[in-house]
Amino acid sequence: MLNVQNLTKIFTLDKQKITAIENVNFTVETGEFFTLLGPSGCGKSTLLRILANVEKPTSGKIEWTDHPNIGFVFQNYALFPYLTTFENIAFGLKMQGVNARKRHETVKELIKEMGLEGFEDKHPKELSGGMKQRVGIARSLAIDPNVLLLDEPFSSLDEFTAESLRKLLLSIWHKRNMTIILITHLIREALELSDRITVMTHSPGTIEKILDNTLKRPRNVRSPDFFAMEDRLVKLIKD
Amino acid sequence: MSFQTKWCYDKGMRYTHNIKTLRKRKHVLTISLTFTVFLLLLILVLGFTTLDAKQFFFGFGESLTRVSMAYIVAVFLAMILTIFVSASHKIEAVSLPILDVLQSFPSFALFPLFVVWFGKTAIVTIFILIITMIWPILFTLLTAQKQIKQDVNEAAKIFGATGWKYFYYVLLPLLFPAIITGSIVSWGEAWEAIIAAEIIVGVPGVGTYLAQAGTNNQTHILVIGILLLLLLLFILNKYIWLSLLNSSTRYQQE
């Protein structure tokens, strides 16, 4: 569904040229859970922003076979501080001009699904990190996306919260026919969630290898198979 | 470039800080009540017998109208300039130093020119007010615009807030706290300017009222007039600006 060809992005900062990503090529199938794994500063965030069309590539091509309706989940939530939970989730629909009754229906359902009942009228300031990210995910789901991009969505959260949100993300993915592209620097997170893992290296960011994650779902992160796959991935990164 | 940015940042921050300490005081209500009662008593005792209350309040009303009119124009212009300056890094690099020079230009230096153009009329005082009031608002707005987080702007774009929708649903609410803090500073400076401008031009207003009492050697009227002005400004600040400031805290970024 997505075909990325020879993507390069060069930033100019104080007349100095910095190559964020260079000659990146990959494809993502419809309904696939695809992960870009790499260290901080390898340009994976830039790559995701180009896919979301908030950053222009210097050269290269992005082809979507179906028209992408993109949802985006940010590492630091990027919620609108002046809006309540309800209004934040409804934001995309409001911008599309969906009427108030329809918005209310959709948001109500999402609030239930995301476990945000009782927090409808709270502002982001009054929410915990985990709750904020639930709002962030719900805001994306409200526009009924066929592609969900997630930029280190659980990296600012404690491990307990992160784990429950990973489970939630998987249940969301199973329920909907959605392509997910996830960015992370956590090897375990990549293995637990995704169908395929792309390893990126930095300066400049390029794609090194792609791993087919053949582990059966639901995945047990303490099973021997999981450890074996982890070894394979670590070896792939080191080589 | 970096100097200007830091300067306006400091200015905005210092003000916010002051307001916070003010709000923290739990006795604000008691203090304000005592203050109000004290002033009212003083005015009653010193007496409406000698103060021409009608003339005073009429003058105050006229001054207030001029400040309000100039304020609306100043906010509008500051908003447009903010959008213009923040449109690109190049425009910002060129226009910020220019604006910084302009804001340190004494507005009363333009006084004779305005008088030549418009005569000794109220319009002159309004023009003086506009160029006095615009700077605090403009520089707090520019600072606040810079502090908008990149990811929030990206979220706005991804979820469909572009063009006027971005302005109305994202930029305006994000800048709201800055509009309020900038306005408070600008109203403070405006009262200073309007009193002086009215005295110089000689149009009726609270400034002229006080000046007249001065030339007639009516010290008691001067004292009562100043106290009344203090009270009215206090009420304006306490009940309009401080409550707006309180309500704007929920708009603030984390």
Model-level pTM? 0.84
User: In this predicted model, which residue has the larger pLDDT, B107 or A56?
Assistant: A56
Q: Which residues of B touch A72 (CB under 8 A)?
A: 154-155, 158
Query: Considering the domain boundaries, does residue A23 fall inside one?
Result: no
- Cα atoms in the 13 Å half-sphere on the side-chain side of B152: 21
Q: What is the DSSP string of A39-95?
A: -TTSSHHHHHHHHTTSS--SEEEEEESSPP-EEEE-TT----TTS-HHHHHHHHHHH
Contact A51, A62 (CB under 8 A): yes
**Residue A36 is part of which domain span?**
30-57+146-239
Angle between helices B89-103 and B53-85 (to 10 degrees): 150
Instruction: For residue B219, give both structure tokens.
Output: 């010290």
**Optimal mutation site among A95, A133, A151, interface B, most CBs of chain B within 10 A:** A95
**Residue A175's CATH number:** 3.40.50.300
In the prediction, which pLDDT does B213 show?
85
Closest residue to A81, CB basis, from B159, B165, B254: B254
The four Cα atoms B78, B80, B81, B85 give a dihedral, to 10 degrees, of: 140
B151–A74 C-beta distance less than 8 A: yes
Query: pLDDT per residue over A89-109, tens digit each?
Result: 999 999 999 999 999 999 999
- Position B6 scores a pLDDT of 37
Question: Would you state the pLDDT for residue B47?
Answer: 64
A120, A185: one domain: no
Which residue among B151, B174, B252 sits closest to A76, beta carbon to beta carbon?
Answer: B151
Say if A3 falls within a structural domain. no
Same domain, A140 and A153: no
Question: Which H or E run contains A34?
Answer: strand A33-37
Kindly state whether residue A16 falls inside one of the protein's structural domains: no
Q: Which of A78, A92, A139 sits opposite B152 (nearest CB)?
A: A78
Task: Specify whether A108 is located in the same domain as A223.
Answer: no
Please tell me which residue, B218 or A114, carries the higher pLDDT value.
A114
Interface of A to B at Cβ within 8 Å reads 49, 52-54, 70-72, 74-76, 78-82, 91-92, 94-96, 123-125, 139, 143
d(CA B150, CA A74): 11
Indicate whether A218 belongs to any domain. yes
* Separation in Å, CA of B158 to nearest CA in chain A: 7
Q: Residue A224 carries which DSSP code?
A: H
Asked if A98 and A87 sit in the same domain, the reply is yes
Please answer whether residues B221 and B51 qualify as being in contact, where contact means their C-beta atoms are separated by less than 8 angstroms: yes
CATH 1.10.287.3610 holds for B2-251: no
Test A80 with B170 for CB contact under 8 angstroms: yes
Establish if A36 belongs to a structural domain: yes
Domain ranges, ordered by start, for chain B: 2-251
pLDDT in tens, B121-139: 999 999 999 999 999 999 9
Whether residue A182 sits in one domain with residue A230: yes
Q: Which of A10, A45, A47, A42 has the alpha carbon at shortest distance from A25?
A: A47
Q: Quick check: helix, strand or coil at residue A131?
A: helix
In DSSP terms, A184 is beta-bridged to A37
A102 neighbors B231 (Cβ within 8 angstroms): no
Give the percent of chain B with pLDDT over 90: 45
The mean predicted confidence, pLDDT, of chain B is 83
Please give the ipTM for the structure prediction.
0.94
**Per-residue pLDDT tens for A131-152?**
999 999 999 999 999 999 999 9
Residue A11, in any domain of the structure? no
Beta carbon pairs, A and B, within 8 Å:
61
Q: Of A144, A168, A197, which residue is a domain's last?
A: A144
Domain end position, chosen among A118, A144, A170? A144
The whole-angstrom separation of Cα A46 and Cα A102 is: 34
A27, β-bridge pairs = A3
Q: Is the pLDDT of residue B39 over 90?
A: no
Helices B122-147 and B111-118 pack at an angle, to 10 degrees, of 130
Among B154, B174, B250, the residue with its CB nearest the CB of A54 is B154
A66 φψ region: left (φ > 0), alpha (ψ -120 to 50), beta (else): beta
pLDDT tens sequence across B150-174: 999 999 999 999 999 999 999 999 9
- Select from A144, A176, A198 the last residue of a domain: A144
Residues A174 and A238 in one domain: yes
What is the least distance, in Å, from the CA of A79 to any CA of chain B? 7
Cα Rg of chain A, angstroms:
18
Q: What is the number of domains present in chain A?
A: 2
Which candidate, A30, A7, A58, places its Cα nearest to that of A179?
Answer: A30
Q: Which residues of chain B make contact with A49, given a CB cutoff of 8 A?
A: 154
Same domain assignment for residues A231 and A116: no
